[in-house]
A and B are shown apart, each in its own frame.
Chain A
Amino acid sequence: GDSVTQMEGPVTLSEEAFLTINCTYTATGYPSLFWYVQYPGEGLQLLLKATKADDKGSNKGFEATYRKETTSFHLEKGSVQVSDSAVYFCALSDRGTGNQFYFGTGTSLTVIP
């Protein structure tokens, strides 16, 4: 079945460091891929998405490229800030399974000044 595997956390970085959070997926059809962010005490917010292979989603300095050949959608940011501290979820929506969403387990990021 469909699934999303995310890099285990927690991740702790210094401000201005480079961030990569790995995400790989398994899907039976042609999935759309998403990154959601959850700040402390809040619900999930869409960070970025990509709907087909080689698409790049970007928002707030974060980027992720839909790589069909490696079934990956890694999240990157060149220079993290303290305000980026949150939990990041990779997710997919697969037309082949009725567009049900599958979420990864989440990766907690803490950025220290």
Chain B
Amino acid sequence: DSGVTQTPKHLITATGQRVTLRCSPRSGDLSVYWYQQSLDQGLQFLIQYYNGEERAKGNILERFSAQQFPDLHSELNLSSLELGDSALYFCASSVVAGGPGDTQYFGPGTRLTVL
């Protein structure tokens, strides 16, 4: 158990809908990262937050957004969903914003299925 929790575990929804994925980092970790894992694209970095502020952006679509709250939990919002958004979404956390050896700890993931 990494100490990172994600809810829900599974989510099934329809095209055009909007969903929110939630992540609670390990106690004491200030950074949260979101990743998308699909069969054809592999593991793609989406976005990073550090202590409430956006820190780095990866391959995140404009239809997706995220935020980190004062209690350090984070939410990833996916809107106008398309079939191709079906994937595993992982959250990871680390102590700081990244430094030599700063390690990311991954949650169990949310499996999103768009029908």
- Cβ distance A105 to chain B, nearest Cβ, rounded Å: 5
Inter-subunit contact A43/B106 (CB<8 Å)? yes
Asked if A17 CB lies within 8 Å of chain B CBs, one says: no
Inter-subunit contact B43/A106 (CB<8 Å)? yes
Asked if A99 CB lies within 8 Å of chain B CBs, one says: yes
**Which of chain B's residues have a CB closer than 8 A to the CB of A77?**
none
Interface residues of B in 83-102 (CB under 8 A from A): 90, 92, 97-102
Inter-subunit contact A100/B45 (CB<8 Å)? yes
- Cβ distance A58 to chain B, nearest Cβ, rounded Å: 15
- Cβ distance B63 to chain A, nearest Cβ, rounded Å: 22
Q: For the complex, what is the distance from the CA of A81 to the CA of B107, rounded to whole Å? A: 25
Interface size grouping (class) on chain A: 20 to 34
Inter-subunit contact A51/B100 (CB<8 Å)? yes
Asked if B25 CB lies within 8 Å of chain A CBs, one says: no
- Cβ distance A1 to chain B, nearest Cβ, rounded Å: 12
**Which of chain A's residues have a CB closer than 8 A to the CB of B102?**
32, 93, 99
**A binding-site residues for B, Cβ under 8 Å:** 30, 32, 34, 36, 42-46, 49, 51-52, 89, 93, 95, 98-103, 105-106
**B binding-site residues for A, Cβ under 8 Å:** 2, 4, 33, 42-43, 45, 48, 55-56, 58, 90, 92, 97-109
